Structure 1
Amino acid sequence: MSLHLTPIERVKTISKEDFYNNYIKKQKPLVIEKLTTDWPAYEKWRLNYMKEVAGDKTVPLYDDRPVSHEDGFNEAHAKMKMSDYIDLLQRKPTNYRIFLYNLMKSVPSLKNDFKWPDMGLRLVKQLPMLFFGGENSRVFMHYDIDYSNILHFHFHGTKQCVLFAPDQTPYLYKVPHALISREDIDFDNPDFDKWPALEKAQGLVANLKHGEMLYMPEGYWHYMKYLTPGFSMSLRAFPRKISNIGKAAYNIMIMRHFDNFMRKQQGQKWIDYKNEQAIVNTHKHLGIATNHVTI
């Protein structure tokens, strides 16, 4: 069984006005294929180049293990020299990913390889984060804590991106007090008997190749799978909707701290409770009976 996914619209190039009026204002995803062809990064940004300029840097690595009460917020699971990590990526499939890493702070020359695109978004001019992954590594289904509008650029190889609009949240088994869906759902081959709500979800999909950019509107759920080893960069803009600014502030200033507090107080019991409530809340919306768990 597979999810109900529609291909994301694609263009080779687009004017600023067209992009703003038809995609930003309408909060509609889009792939732009040729936006980076005049960037130095288009020719330079391959894994071997990153190994050359950043091979001596020690980088944080994440795998696909379930969230544990023992892990801190976004705490790395391992560390490795960039040169060794890229050798690993090119040698065999691995679950290890680099997530939200500010490589440009360590290697300032990388800042000269890309251009801030004038696309009608007020981009946050902080150093962009980079993401690396090995063949078949996955980024769990989630949405971003700050509800940013995201320009997501991919380099070296191919990456599959599955998106769901915010109005699909009732079908995605959202974990309460978190930004994720149930981590034991296989979004590549979902079990609709176990997760019946997913059968009602309507999503979008695109395979990003080298140099292509995906626009993800604010609050969109996304699941990423590296079909080959590669890496990506995200540029961000603050949410346009006042309601989403409020949600972002709540996530950052209240929700995150409350969840960390409860993990310390309740341990794994809190994690298990949240995961069970993801089922309870979702099935309640569909009128499916589910047993409650208490803490």
Structure 2
Amino acid sequence: MPLHLTEIERVKTISKEDFYNNYVKKQKPVVIEKLTEDWPAYTKWKLEYIKDIAGDKTVPLYDDRPVSHKDGFNEAHATMKMADYIDLLKKEPTNYRIFLYNLMKEVPQLKEDFRWPDIGLKLVKQLPMLFFGGENSKVFIHYDIDFSNILHFHFHGKKRCILFEPNQTPYLYKVPHALISREDIDFDNPDFEKWPALKHAQGLVADLEHGEMLYMPEGYWHYMKYVTPGFSMSLRAFPRNPVNLMKAAYNVTIMRGFDNLMRKYRGQKWIDYKNEQAVIRTHKNLGLPV
């Protein structure tokens, strides 16, 4: 039995006013299919192009191993030359991903390939981040620490994006003092006997093709799977909702520091405790057996 997922609405193009009024104000996701068609990136941004202009850069890599108390916040699991990494992506499936990487700081000419969209959001100009993944590699379901509004552009291939609105959090086995769900849940094929709360979750899904953009509103959970090797770029805007702005400040200044402190002093016991509490609290709140 699969998750309850509804296709995310799609438009070919959209005006700034319609995007703001129909999606940003309503905090509703949408896929815009042709937003990038007049960008140089639309024709240039393929894996081979990235290899040509950034092949000598050493890049941080992440895999799908469970969180360990030994890992720092967003600490990479390995490094590799970009050229070698892209060769690996094209050769065979790999779990190694590049996550939240400011490649444009290393290769400024990439900035000439895209245009900051005039779409009704005040985008943070310093943070065009890139993400790469191999066939079938996955990004753990999570929501972003800063509650940003995100414009997520995909290039080279296909990527499946599953979203959950913040009001679906009670069904997602959120790990306390963290931004993730239980990492042993397979969101492609969930075991509803083991994770019965997921039967109640109502999600959204989009399969992004080359050049398409997905708008993800503030605090939305997102799970990403690279159906084929490819890469994406995210542009961000600060949260508009004052409550979310306060949540973001709390996450950055208090939650992250507290979690790092507890990892240091309690080690793996802290990670295990949080994972246990994700189940206990979810089932208790929904009246399910603990």
TM-score category by the smaller chain? over 0.9
Give the superposition deviation at 1:127. Answer: 3.7
Match in the other structure for 1:35: 35
What does residue range 106-125 of structure 1 map to in structure 2 within 5 Å?
Answer: 106-125=106-125
Query: Deviations along 1:106-126, whole A, 9 cap, x unmatched?
Result: 100000000000110010111
Which whole-Å CA distance do the structure 1 matches of 2:246 and 2:108 have between them?
34
Match in the other structure for 1:74: 74
Match in the other structure for 2:147: 147
RMSD, aligned α-carbons: 0.4
Match in the other structure for 1:187: 187
Give the superposition deviation at 1:61. Answer: 0.2
SS state at 1:257 partner: helix
Match in the other structure for 2:252: 252
Point out where structure 1 has 5 or more consecutive residues left out of the alignment: 291-295
Which whole-Å CA distance do the structure 1 matches of 2:281 and 2:16 have between them?
41
SS state at 2:6 partner: strand
Which whole-Å CA distance do the structure 2 matches of 1:144 and 1:101 have between them?
15
Give the superposition deviation at 1:286. Answer: 1.1
2:273 maps to 1:288: no
2:90 maps to 1:95: no
SS state at 1:84 partner: helix
Confirm or deny: 8 A CA contact 1:153 1:212 kept in the other structure. Answer: yes
Which whole-Å CA distance do the structure 1 matches of 2:82 and 2:125 have between them?
25
Match in the other structure for 1:238: 238
Confirm or deny: 8 A CA contact 1:128 1:235 kept in the other structure. Answer: yes
SS state at 1:13 partner: coil
Which whole-Å CA distance do the structure 2 matches of 1:231 and 1:45 have between them?
9
Which whole-Å CA distance do the structure 2 matches of 1:249 and 1:200 have between them?
30
Match in the other structure for 2:25: 25
Q: Which amino acid aligns with 1:270?
A: W
Confirm or deny: 8 A CA contact 2:127 2:236 kept in the other structure. Answer: no
Q: Which amino acid aligns with 1:109?
A: Q
Confirm or deny: 8 A CA contact 2:151 2:214 kept in the other structure. Answer: yes
Q: Which amino acid aligns with 1:102?
A: N
Q: Which amino acid aligns with 1:207?
A: D
Which whole-Å CA distance do the structure 2 matches of 1:235 and 1:2 have between them?
31
SS state at 1:211 partner: coil
Match in the other structure for 2:6: 6
TM-score, normalised relative to structure 1: 0.98
Which whole-Å CA distance do the structure 2 matches of 1:101 and 1:124 have between them?
15
Match in the other structure for 1:264: 264
Give the superposition deviation at 1:81. Answer: 0.2
Which whole-Å CA distance do the structure 1 matches of 2:119 and 2:281 have between them?
38
Query: Deviations along 1:36-60, whole A, 9 cap, x unmatched?
Result: 0000000000000000000000000
Query: Deviations along 1:78-105, whole A, 9 cap, x unmatched?
Result: 0000000000000000000000111000
Which whole-Å CA distance do the structure 2 matches of 1:2 and 1:216 have between them?
22
Give the superposition deviation at 1:289. Answer: 3.0
Confirm or deny: 8 A CA contact 1:94 1:135 kept in the other structure. Answer: yes
What does residue range 162-173 of structure 1 map to in structure 2 within 5 Å?
Answer: 162-173=162-173
TM-score, normalised relative to structure 2: 1.00
Which whole-Å CA distance do the structure 1 matches of 2:121 and 2:127 have between them?
16
Q: Which amino acid aligns with 2:263?
A: R
Q: Which amino acid aligns with 1:167?
A: N
Confirm or deny: 8 A CA contact 1:104 1:127 kept in the other structure. Answer: no
What does residue range 126-137 of structure 1 map to in structure 2 within 5 Å?
Answer: 126-137=126-137
Which whole-Å CA distance do the structure 2 matches of 1:12 and 1:264 have between them?
49
Match in the other structure for 1:177: 177
> Sequence identity, in percent?
81
Which whole-Å CA distance do the structure 2 matches of 1:288 and 1:13 have between them?
45
SS state at 1:67 partner: coil
Give the superposition deviation at 1:285. Answer: 1.3
- The count of corresponding residues between Structure 1 and Structure 2 is 290
2:221 maps to 1:221: yes
SS state at 1:122 partner: coil
Q: Which amino acid aligns with 1:89?
A: L
SS state at 1:248 partner: helix
2:196 maps to 1:196: yes
SS state at 1:53 partner: helix
Confirm or deny: 8 A CA contact 1:98 1:131 kept in the other structure. Answer: yes
